[in-house]
Structure 1
Amino acid sequence: MQPSPSLPAIPLPAGIRTRHIDDINGLRMHVLEAGFETPGRPCLLLLHGFPELAFSWRRVMPALAEAGYHVIAPDQRGYGRTTGWDVNYDGDLASFRLLNLVRDALGLVSAFGYRTVDAVVGHDFGSSVAAWCAVVRPDVFRSVVLMSAPFAGPPQLAFNTADAPSKPQFDDPVHRELAALPRPRKHYQWYYSTREANADMHHAPQGLHDFLRAYYHHKSADWKDNKPYPLKSWSVNELAKLPTYYVMDLAKNMAETVAEEMPSAGIIAANKWLPDRELAFYSAEYERTGFQGGLQWYRCGTSGVFTAELETWSGRTIDVPSCFISGSHDWGIYQRPGVYEAMQASTCTRMLGCHLVDGAGHWVQQEQPAEVSRLLLQFLRRAGPSAPR
């Protein structure tokens, strides 16, 4: 089914169509689709992050379809033209937890008639969903590509505590320590979990369009101070080295934070990876929906409420073929100290490559789509032949 006539057309390249799929785990899911003309193709599932949409894959989908794949990219739960999720801060938080997002992905590919998917590819928070797809259902998701957000593995159960009980849970002191710095700070994920965050961005003083322009610019290779390096530990002095879009000034919200890095009119006009006419689609969609759906994902993580069910997979690794792709100017590689290294050493047992793409920051598939497409196809060839549908 096509989107409502009241919604504007999506500025998509030739060969990509938009449609809705009903009854996906309680959702009416909006998807972009390429390579749909020929039945029986192997399937690729592309999962976006925050604050993006299925639209973020528009420049890699044609190349993947041309290589012979049926490519499916949904607006995930909480985003865009997918409906059926609770828009309220005080609504059903549990529906946004990672295992239910995996259930969304599984239901979508099943609705398309696939019992296996050649690869699930996730960017940013979509990387976490893709990783959990590979942990929970490796029989369905036969390989996984993680982009811009390394995977730490399932949370560990307390071990050998029968005679030496584990320490009681307590709040992470790093947040109090950040707030006590001479220049007081706060971590963006905990800010995103506050009641105020959605309105701060949705009703940004500079306007939502300019908010998104500054946000995307600040985390891209276009912002010249994005020169990431590994941090030594999850500690106040190390975290304080992160850019302000990750570790913010305590008194500022995200709209105020990125407004300080708003690019000039000349830089905006020269932007080829996200020209204003394409940014206008993002801003129109978020003007309509707000940001709370995506922010609920962060709340699931920072609250710790759903950690216990993830501990069911404690000690499990990703054993399907995997790879990691990020921009070389992306601080997301290192924002959780040690995770990038652990992912390669132990979390992913069949890691076929880690690629840091020149000329890209956090939005790697938008900033450098040709290189990302090449790396994805290279990985798919190495990961093995397609399974029957």
Structure 2
Amino acid sequence: MTSLPEILLPAAIRSRYVDAINGLRMHVLEAGFETPGRPCILLLHGFPELAYSWRKVMPALADAGYHVIAPDQRGYGRTTGWDANYDGELAPFRLTNLVRDALGLVSAFGYTRVEAVIGHDFGSPVAAWCALVRPEVFRSVVMMSAPFGGPPALPFGTAALPAKPQAEDPVHRELAALPRPRKHYQWYYSRREANNEMTRARQGIHDFLRAYYHHKSADWKANQPHPLAGWTAGELAKLPTYYVMDRAQTMPATVAKEMPDAAAIAAHRWLPDRELEFYSAEYRRTGFQGGLQWYRCGTSGVFNRELQIWSGRTIDVPSCFIAGKQDWGTYQRPGVFEAMQATVCTAMMGCHLVDGAGHWVQQEQPEQVIELLLQFVAQARARAAG
């Protein structure tokens, strides 16, 4: 690990390792560590990202008096102790074990209470499950760029009915049968070939990530999201190809069509090439399979029964949602954004769609995100104080 390149970080952030976290040696970025006894904020990244994705907001949260902890999650970056083998055990990547990772990390730092757990992209459901399962520890939650639809429902009122086999979702056959055949990205990510196709992308990992981040950002002007009417092939086909791909295409080939030109890259502000190079260097080293295992847990459905333990349970701690206004992620699962506000979160204190940001909201518009986060955490603490 000593041979790894230096991470380009603001002076207020340090990189460190914490051993024996649920079988992991976890790489962590932290800010506000100089003063003992500070309240804790935990930041959880998504895919294909790293703890580094929080570099723009961590110093301001620390300046506001918090100890800010951002790990490379299981399967990512410099955290070790996980298996990247497609044929290896999938269970360590299930949501309840990711919650155990988060709980173990804050416990190792000596915290029995976390003021806010904040998750972006696939980190959002992990944060949501933290707040749902252990609300006495995770006292408020911010979900970013991926709304939370709640635990899966248990079969209800079926005692007099014969058992039925698990029904296959017909939407995948319907997508494949469209005049322009399509496939859903999460099921693409669950394929054995996906990691190899991305790590060996024809354009190289650096240019693949450049195009991927660009395509899902507000810089791609065709990102004009709106609610979809339902989980049907016709509605899902309205999503951009980074979500509902052309059936014959890989993800690198999909995003390559939207690669920004050299002038745009040279002028890039929210993710200059020197910062993108850190992501690409890490993914060249680790590959993508660690993150792809998370998608496989979801698409396989094999861990739904475990999650049904919490069927009907709501998130009752103060909650908030933040996403880019130009982010299709808010609507990619029809009805979830609305259900999160109406029934899943009983103490929702705001849903904010930040203009000028796509999917990478805390990197594209960090100042606005910082303001919203600090406002929310202050309000949540005031509410808890009575």
Report the TM-score when normalising by structure 1. Answer: 0.98
- State the secondary structure of the residue aligned to 2:241: coil
Q: Which residue of 2 aligns with 1:33?
A: 30
User: Cα offset for 1:380?
Assistant: 0.6
CA distance, structure 1, for counterparts of residue 270 and residue 172 of structure 2:
35
Q: Which residue of 2 aligns with 1:187?
A: 184
Q: Structure 2 residue aligned with 1:82, among 73, 79, 82? A: 79
The 1:386/1:162 distance shift into structure 2, 3 A limit, reads: closer
1:175 aligns with 2:172: yes
Contact 1:42–1:387 (CA under 8 A) maintained in structure 2: no
- State the secondary structure of the residue aligned to 2:49: coil
Q: Which residue of 2 aligns with 1:339?
A: 336
User: Cα offset for 1:168?
Assistant: 3.0
Give the share of equivalent positions with the same residue, in percent.
78
User: Cα offset for 1:164?
Assistant: 3.4
User: Cα offset for 1:5?
Assistant: 2.0
- State the secondary structure of the residue aligned to 1:384: helix
User: Cα offset for 1:165?
Assistant: 4.5
1:100-111 matched pairs, under 5 angstroms: 100-111=97-108
Give the AA of the match of 2:41.
L
Q: Structure 2 residue aligned with 1:285, among 282, 286, 291? A: 282
CA distance, structure 2, for counterparts of residue 167 and residue 340 of structure 1:
30
CA distance, structure 2, for counterparts of residue 386 and residue 185 of structure 1:
47
CA distance, structure 1, for counterparts of residue 218 and residue 162 of structure 2:
47
Give the AA of the match of 2:46.
G
Give the AA of the match of 2:223.
N
Give the AA of the match of 1:168.
P
1:117 aligns with 2:114: yes
CA distance, structure 1, for counterparts of residue 335 and residue 35 of structure 2:
44
Give the AA of the match of 1:96.
F
- State the secondary structure of the residue aligned to 1:65: helix
User: Cα offset for 1:387?
Assistant: 8.5
1:270 aligns with 2:262: no
CA distance, structure 1, for counterparts of residue 264 and residue 123 of structure 2:
29
Contact 1:118–1:386 (CA under 8 A) maintained in structure 2: no
> Runs of 5+ in structure 1 lacking a partner?
none
- State the secondary structure of the residue aligned to 1:356: strand
Give the AA of the match of 2:293.
Q
What is the CA RMSD across the aligned residues, in angstroms?
Answer: 1.1
User: Cα offset for 1:285?
Assistant: 0.2
> Runs of 5+ in structure 2 lacking a partner?
none
User: Cα offset for 1:269?
Assistant: 1.3
CA distance, structure 1, for counterparts of residue 277 and residue 194 of structure 2:
21
Contact 1:344–1:351 (CA under 8 A) maintained in structure 2: yes
Q: Structure 2 residue aligned with 1:206, among 187, 203, 206? A: 203
1:327 aligns with 2:324: yes
User: Cα offset for 1:163?
Assistant: 1.9
1:303-314 matched pairs, under 5 angstroms: 303-314=300-311
CA distance, structure 2, for counterparts of residue 166 and residue 102 of structure 1:
32
CA distance, structure 1, for counterparts of residue 111 and residue 367 of structure 2:
27
Q: Structure 1 residue aligned with 2:127, among 126, 130, 133? A: 130
Report the TM-score when normalising by structure 2. Answer: 0.98
Q: Structure 2 residue aligned with 1:57, among 50, 54, 59? A: 54
Report the count of equivalent residues.
Answer: 385
